[in-house]
Amino acid sequence: MAARRLSVIVIALLSAVSCSRNPEVVKRKYLESGNRYFERKQYKEASIMYRQALRKDPRYGEAYYRLGLTQLHLARIPEAVRSLRRAVELLPDRTEPKVELGNIFLTALAVTPTSNTQQVGNLQKEIKLLAEQLPQNSPHRHRFLGFYHLSQMQVKPAIEEFRQAHALAAFRPEFTLPLIQSLLADGQTAEAEKLARGLIQREKTFLPAYDVLYLHYARSNREAEAESLLKEKAANNPKEGRVWLQLAGHYHRLKRVAEMQAALEHLTGNLKDFPEAYRWVGDFYRARRDFDNAVRYYELGMERDSGRRLLYQRLKAQALIDQGRRAEAASLLDEVLKQNPKDEDARAMRAALTIETGTPEQLRRAVSELQAAITRSPDNAVLRYHLGRALVREGQLDQAAAQFQEAIKRQPAYLAPRLALIEIQLFKRDFPTALQQVREVLQLDPANLMAKLLRTGALVGLGNFAQARADLEATLKEHPESWEARLQMGALNLHERRFKEAEDIFSKLHQSGPPGDLRALMGLSETYAAQGRFDKSIALLKAELARAPDRPTLHLALANDYVRSGQYDAAIAEYQSLIQRNPKAGDLYLRLGETQRLKGDLNAAAASFRKAAELRPSDPQAHLVLALILDQQKQTDQALQVYEKILQIQPDHPVALNNLAYLLTERGTDLDRALTLALRARQKLPQDPNVADTVGWIYIKKNLSDNAAEIFRDLVRRYPNNPTFHYHLGMALYQKGDRAGARQALQTALRNKPSPEEAGKIKELLSRVG
């Protein structure tokens, strides 16, 4: 097939050049041939033709423009940007290249975390520059400027630009919808509603217009109008299955069961228009945790749609897994694999069962099986997703994130890896990125419950508790039965120290939760612990352990409570018991070592940290805690070696850079290298006072008194009660000959209650200052 395609391209190339040797004619022939391929969606072939045209004329703007469009369809965004930039330069009077390039920048701006201020600023400049190159009467000019203002949180100027765009291209969706959304955000609801109704009247198949207005009605408790709008949407789009599902969701939210069922039966009763109706309805029930009905519809699909029988078996297996019926699910998946051993999706689900419940050894085998399956099917996004999940359970978060990203690359509309990647970002406390990626998911699926809950988690992480609570309350209004949403409300109450409300929610959820799901119990335990009621928390965990003695999560939680309540020996016993069951778990040795350190047994702590570093040789954190304890024990040579090891693993690790620099300075062996390391640490942590202190200390050792004094003056200004910084300032001033300034700094240091050891050094220096 590839050879035949190549021959077709060769014939096209030959035919383009055989008609004429005039370069102008030849380049147009190549362009026209490329356009024909483009219309047939043969983008790779079109790309070859446009490149041939550019070989004939490297300043052929139209070829650059068409090549840029082709690269967009091939998802080669950086190449498309380069081609469209060139088209804009060579076709200064053409609008289309500027619009296409601007749309790319708008998309990039939408997915760039606001914390990346440099990238956001660059994109804003690009968008504004392109807008200003467009004519005043171009609606795209005003649309670009509107989004430019929105990105700077300037809603009213954005509205004025969107108004002008709408005036120039009334009720064209790309110009009118942003105006509607901005007006709603600004509280100008009457005008927004009128525009939305006008847009729907003219563009009956443009579904986002209905969605924006429906959400506004729902948030305003205008349920009758919301229902009427959804009925209108269904009447105008009778063959859009998702519209009927949305209507059913509306009735489900209002507990109008008969009408919900009627909307769903509209789908299952018309398989000609909705051949996947049984899947959709099963998914509808599964999303609402009505697993019995989900299974029933998947079984109907198995019976009545024999061509998709294996698909429905997999879906049924997933519903059984969600319901906690793992043995039945495993049996069903084994049956699927018996019928079709090459069904990689079923194999991935079978491995997923092991991921959720297997021992560490079973988990390692599952990882190996999934890696082998990916070698056979490298483009299978489901396999990569499940491999990512397995790696998460093994604690390999970076490798897991890489698999999720590969899954997204291969199947952009597959939401599971997107959601899993967001969970990793939340765990790593990268809340801005998590929030932005949640927005991307909600653009693909505005009703996605999991995405809404992850958005709440990101908002809590960013400290925006009021918005988090408002979003969560809106979600619970839409999904009052959602166990996950109620669980998150309990967590939010706990975070805001509303203990009574948190305790009530977690207690109820603990009684009604899915079998084997410990999150409500853990929330209740944490609520007790947060109030210092460790006896209740420990009793709760012990009672659950009596029912499920082999759950490591419970033992970890119990050990954590023992640590927080100062019962170190009991905590150590729990960790040692867990290590006996899983001797290769480096994270357990880290927890054990930290508990031993708190108890004051530094030798035992060092041994545990050393074992953790052995088990996790590529984990800088495991080596760091070992280095810190060795440093604390004054085992400087060994600490130096471990810090060097950390920098081999992660050359820009700021703590290792700083601490190694300090130890080298104390030794006085290599002050130049120490300064280089400390300055690199300061680049990573420019506001950290301890890193600045290290740099200043090195300057003192190198007799660079002015540099040292400048650093320490800034530190005592920012931290006026820190005796060490005043002491070091005194040393720097004494070194440069400023005895009066040194005396004042040292006396201030003494007034700020230094440690006995440091106080002795300050007094000794004061005696020399005189």
Residue extents of the structural domains in the chain:
566-651
pLDDT at residue 5, rounded to an integer: 46
pLDDT at residue 336, rounded to an integer: 86
Contact between 512 and 490 under an 8 Å Cβ cutoff? The reply is no
* pLDDT class of 299 with cuts at 50, 70, 90: very high
pTM over 0.85: no
**Containing H/E element for 291?**
helix 291-304
- Stretch 628-649: mean pLDDT, rounded? 92
Q: HSE (CB half, 13 Å, CA atoms) of 748?
A: 21
pLDDT at residue 3, rounded to an integer: 45
- Stretch 216-231: mean pLDDT, rounded? 93
DSSP 19: S
DSSP 278: H
Give dist(CA 108, CA 111) in Å, integer.
5
Nearest Cα to Cα of residue 267 among 292, 284, 287, 290: 284
- Stretch 190-194: mean pLDDT, rounded? 96
Selected residue with higher pLDDT from 342 and 132: 132
Give dist(CA 406, CA 513) in Å, integer.
33
3-class SS string, 453-504: HHHHHHHHHCCCHHHHHHHHHHHHHHCCCCHHHHHHHHHHHHHCCCHHHHHH
Predicted confidence (pLDDT) at residue 6 exceeds the cutoff of 50: no
Contacts 24+ apart (CB under 8 A), 713-718: 715/689, 716/745, 716/748, 718/689
Query: How far is C-alpha 111 from the geometric centre of its chain's CA atoms?
Result: 11
Predicted confidence (pLDDT) at residue 4 exceeds the cutoff of 50: no
361: how many CB neighbours lie within 10 A of its CB?
Answer: 10
pLDDT in tens, 94-123: 999 999 999 999 988 876 766 678 888 999
3-class SS string, 41-59: CCHHHHHHHHHHHHHHCCC
Contact between 314 and 329 under an 8 Å Cβ cutoff? The reply is no
Q: Which residues contact 490 (CB under 8 A, 6 or more apart)?
A: 501, 502, 505, 506, 509, 520, 523, 527
Residues 202-228: b if buried by 16+ CB within 10 A, e if exposed: ebeebbebbbbbbbbbbeeeeeeebbe
- Stretch 543-547: mean pLDDT, rounded? 91
Alpha helices by DSSP H, 57-172: 61-73, 77-90, 96-111, 117-133, 139-151, 155-168
Predicted confidence (pLDDT) at residue 750 exceeds the cutoff of 90: yes
Give dist(CA 94, CA 403) in Å, integer.
42
- Stretch 316-335: mean pLDDT, rounded? 85
pLDDT in tens, 196-210: 999 999 999 999 999
Residues 587-599: b if buried by 16+ CB within 10 A, e if exposed: bbbbbbbbbbbeb
236: how many CB neighbours lie within 10 A of its CB?
Answer: 17
pLDDT at residue 2, rounded to an integer: 44
* pLDDT class of 481 with cuts at 50, 70, 90: confident
Q: What is the crossing angle of helices 552-564 and 534-547, to 10°? A: 160
Nearest Cα to Cα of residue 370 among 345, 395, 341, 392: 345
* pLDDT class of 516 with cuts at 50, 70, 90: confident
Length of the chain (residues):
770
pLDDT at residue 171, rounded to an integer: 94
Selected residue with higher pLDDT from 165 and 429: 165
pLDDT at residue 115, rounded to an integer: 61
At 29, list the tokens. 């022939």
Q: What is the CA radius of gyration of the chain?
A: 32
Percentage of the chain with pLDDT > 70? 96
- Cα angle 659, 664, 670 (rounded to 5 degrees) comes to 140
pLDDT at residue 357, rounded to an integer: 65
**Helix, strand or coil, per DSSP, at residue 339:** helix
Nearest Cα to Cα of residue 514 among 227, 263, 321, 746: 321
- Stretch 510-522: mean pLDDT, rounded? 83
Give dist(CA 235, CA 244) in Å, integer.
10
Contact between 481 and 288 under an 8 Å Cβ cutoff? The reply is yes
Predicted confidence (pLDDT) at residue 253 exceeds the cutoff of 90: no
**Containing H/E element for 213?**
helix 207-219
Q: Average per-residue pLDDT in the chain?
A: 90
Predicted confidence (pLDDT) at residue 12 exceeds the cutoff of 80: no
pLDDT in tens, 351-400: 777 776 667 777 788 888 888 888 888 888 888 998 998 888 888 889 99
Architecture of domain 566-651 in this structure: Alpha Horseshoe (1.25)
Predicted confidence (pLDDT) at residue 730 exceeds the cutoff of 90: yes
Give dist(CA 236, CA 507) in Å, integer.
46
pLDDT in tens, 33-45: 999 999 999 999 9
User: Dihedral, CA atoms, 567, 570, 574, 579, nearest 10 degrees?
Assistant: 100
714 burial via Cβ count (<10 Å: 0-12, 13-18, 19+): middle
Predicted confidence (pLDDT) at residue 480 exceeds the cutoff of 90: no
- Sign of the CA dihedral running 634, 636, 641, 645: positive
